[in-house]
Amino acid sequence: MTTTPDVIAVTPTEMRAAKVVIRLMRRRGEAPSQALLAIANATVEPTRISDAAARVPADEV
C-alpha cells in the first residue's frame, strides 16, 4: 500500500487542472478522490516551475 506524502509539490498548471476536474466532478454529482484534492491544495514548488519552463522550446515562448 502506498502512502501520500504530507507535502505535495506541483506546478501551477497541474494545480489549475486538478481544480477544473474537481469542479466538473462536483457538477456531475461525483466525489473527487483524495489524491485529486491533495493536488488542488498542494504547495507550488518554484523549482518545478523553472524546470517546466526550461523544457519549452524557444520558438514557443
Length of the chain: 61
Cell 514557443: give the residue: 60
How confident is residue 11, by pLDDT bands cut at 50, 70 and 90?
confident
What pLDDT was estimated at residue 28?
92
Q: Judge contact between 36 and 21, C-beta under 8 A.
A: yes
At 41 the pLDDT is 79
43 - beta bridge partners?
9
Q: What is the pTM of this model?
A: 0.56
- What pLDDT score was predicted for residue 12? 81
> What residue type is assigned to position 59 of the chain?
D
Read off the pLDDT of residues 17-49 as tens digits, 9 standing for 90 and up: 888 888 999 999 999 888 888 888 776 665 555
Residue 44 identity (one-letter amino acid): V
Q: Tell me which of 50 and 35 has the higher pLDDT.
A: 35
Task: Please state the domain extents for the chain.
Answer: 9-60
